[in-house]
């Protein structure tokens, strides 16, 4: 706005008053006209005020009458009012070049209760409830060992099928310590399941159900889940969580993607090692015990994440986490495609390492090992293995157990350059034979 012109302070009646005072500065002439002038100004002022009030009232009546008669909508009038005022456009033109612009209010957004019933009905045939009967051993006060039977509930969803089995993705902690696993399909029929593979450090597992144990009627009802792309997510877009909350049966919660790439630290109950997952989806869709292993969906009904209560923060509300489906499927596909390799046949890297804040720190590289042949050096930090982010040495070791000797695998490492700077390097390693240790 021009600094020499201030619409708020400008008063046209002040100019009239000034001219009047100048014209009749002579006291004798002023006295003759003073009474008439004051009366005239009062009359004009009252008339103007009355006209202004009447005009506003008339506009209000017209506005609300128009709405009740359906002549125009409130939303439409507001949009026209904001976009067509000449004086606003004029003031915009007078703003200094490079000034801040106002937020865009032309974006058309419908704010309403989100009805996801159609999405849920389409997705539910791919979701199962999981019951886990297990045994947990614990030690008494005097050193005695006791075994206690446990029962827990979780969720999973169908990801693949072959000639003999249907494969179900879930969380590792849903199936941990299981002696008996049962899945319930969307038509309420049940079948026994067995563990195909687990990766505790990623809280992922795959279980399988024999097709021969599923009735033809159920096979006609159930469906494989449609997977989405978790790399294409944006904060603020809708999110839908489906799961067997508290073991009461499948339920639905809704919310939004609150944030992406969240880092959460948890302690692995089996090893006691603190594991960091630094690429979780944060959502305010309620994720409760029993929801673990269930699907986090986008508005298309595609699975974009695997819900995990393991990463929940009990001290706050409205924060739940899910493992991005792109990250999860790299491991799930490996578990489905190949049995876990026997330790004597698993691929051997040939390093000694420890955990660090950035990844798996390589303390030493053994002479003649696969790592040395590939160019890995002491001081390197392994941050990625076959597309999976590496946080700890135990996680790396667990993932390597799925790869046999002789297989070529891809690593991403950070190599120190001094002054706390690192260069990122990709390395291909042909895994060695663990028998060289004998």
What is the C-alpha separation between 252 and 365, in angstroms, rounded? 50
Residue 400 sits in a domain whose CATH number is 2.30.42.10
Instruction: Give percent of the chain above pLDDT 70.
Output: 66
* Within a domain: 100: no
- Are both 189 and 249 inside the same structural domain? no
pLDDT > 90 fraction of the chain, expressed in percent and rounded: 29
Cα distance between residue 322 and residue 317, in whole Å: 15
Whether 394 contacts 356, CB under 8 Å? no
Co-location of 203 and 153 in the same domain: yes
DSSP string over 82-105: HHH-HHHHHHHHTSPTTPPPPPP-
What's the whole-number mean pLDDT along residues 35-48? 45
Label residue 257 by pLDDT band (50, 70, 90): very high
> Please, which pLDDT band fits residue 266 given cuts at 50, 70 and 90?
low
88-92, 249-253, 257-261, 322-326: the lowest-pLDDT one: 88-92
Q: How many CA atoms lie within 13 A of 95 on its CB side?
A: 12
Cα–Cα distance, 77 to 85 (Å, whole number): 12
Residues present in the chain in total: 438
Shortest CA distance to 194 belongs to which of 306, 339, 303, 346? 339
Region of residue 420 (phi > 0: left; psi between -120 and 50: alpha; otherwise: beta) = left
* One domain, residues 313 and 382: no
Residue 319: Cβ-neighbour burial (10 angstroms; 0-12, 13-18, 19+): middle
Residues 6 or more apart in contact with residue 325 via CB below 8 angstroms: 227, 228, 229, 230, 303, 304, 305, 306
* Mean pLDDT within 265-294: 73
pLDDT for 40 equals 40
Within a domain: 146: yes
pLDDT at 10: 42
Q: Which stretch of DSSP H or E encloses residue 179?
A: strand 178-184
Q: What is the pLDDT of residues 131-182, one digit of tens each?
A: 888 777 777 777 777 777 778 888 999 999 999 999 999 998 898 888 899 9
Confidence of residue 215 (pLDDT cuts 50, 70, 90): very high
Q: Is 428 part of any domain? A: yes
Total structural domains in the chain? 4
- Higher pLDDT residue, 140 or 3? 140
How many beta carbons lie within 10 A of that of residue 21, not counting itself?
11
> What pTM was computed for the model?
0.59
Asked if residue 137 belongs to a domain, the reply is yes
Confidence of residue 23 (pLDDT cuts 50, 70, 90): very low
pLDDT in tens, 378-401: 999 999 988 778 878 877 887 887
| pLDDT for 19 beyond 90 | no
What's the domain range around 21?
12-93
For residue 99, being part of any structural domain is answered with no
Residue 142 in any domain: the answer is yes
Q: What are the structure tokens assigned to 366, written together? A: 């053994």
Catalytic residue numbers read: 173, 203, 292
264 and 311 Cβ atoms separated by less than 8 Å: yes
Helix (H, G, I), strand (E, B) or coil at 141: coil
Whether 224 is in a domain gets the answer: no
What confidence score (pLDDT) does residue 420 get? 84
């Amino acid at each position: 706005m021009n600094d020499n012109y201030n619409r708020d302070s400008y008063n046209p009646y002040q100019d009239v008053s000034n001219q009047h005072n100048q014209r009749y500065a002579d006291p004798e002439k002023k006295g003759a006209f003073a009474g008439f002038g004051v009366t005239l100004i009062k009359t004009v002022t009252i008339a103007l005020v009355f006209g202004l009030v009447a005009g506003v009232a008339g506009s209000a009546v017209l506005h609300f009458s128009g709405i009740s008669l359906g002549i125009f909508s409130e939303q439409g009038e507001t949009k026209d009012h904001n976009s067509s005022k000449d004086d606003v456009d004029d003031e915009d033109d007078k703003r200094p070049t490079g000034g801040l612009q106002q937020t865009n209010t032309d974006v058309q957004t419908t704010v309403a209760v989100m009805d996801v019933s159609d999405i849920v009905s389409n997705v539910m045939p791919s979701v199962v409830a999981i019951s886990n009967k297990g045994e947990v051993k614990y030690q008494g006060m005097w050193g005695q060992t006791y075994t206690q039977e446990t029962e827990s509930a979780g969720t999973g969803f169908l990801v693949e099928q072959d000639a003999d089995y249907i494969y179900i993705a879930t969380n590792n902690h849903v199936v941990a310590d299981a002696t008996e696993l049962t899945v319930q399909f969307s038509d309420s029929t049940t079948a026994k399941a067995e563990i195909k593979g687990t990766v505790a450090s990623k809280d992922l597992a795959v279980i399988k159900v024999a097709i021969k144990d599923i009735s033809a009627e159920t096979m006609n009802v159930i469906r494989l889940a449609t997977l989405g792309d978790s790399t294409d997510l944006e904060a603020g877009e809708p999110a839908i969580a489906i799961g067997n909350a508290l073991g009461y049966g499948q339920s639905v919660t809704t919310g939004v993607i609150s944030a992406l790439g969240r880092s959460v630290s948890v302690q692995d109950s089996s090893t006691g090692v603190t594991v960091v997952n630094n690429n979780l989806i944060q959502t305010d869709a309620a994720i409760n015990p029993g929801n673990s292993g269930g699907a986090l969906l986008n508005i298309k009904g595609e699975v974009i994440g695997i819900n995990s209560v393991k990463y929940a923060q009990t001290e706050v509300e409205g924060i739940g986490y899910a493992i991005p489906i792109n990250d999860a499927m790299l491991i799930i596909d490996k578990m489905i495609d190949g049995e876990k390799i026997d330790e004597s046949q698993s691929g051997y890297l040939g390093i000694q390492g420890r955990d660090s804040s950035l990844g798996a720190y390589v303390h030493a590289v053994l002479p003649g090992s696969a790592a040395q042949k590939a160019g890995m050096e002491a001081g390197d930090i392994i941050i990625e293995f076959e597309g999976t982010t590496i946080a700890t040495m135990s996680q790396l070791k667990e993932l390597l157990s799925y790869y046999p000797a002789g297989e070529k695998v891809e690593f991403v490492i950070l190599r120190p350059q001094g002054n706390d700077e690192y260069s990122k390097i990709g390395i291909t390693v042909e895994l060695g034979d663990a028998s060289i240790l004998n």
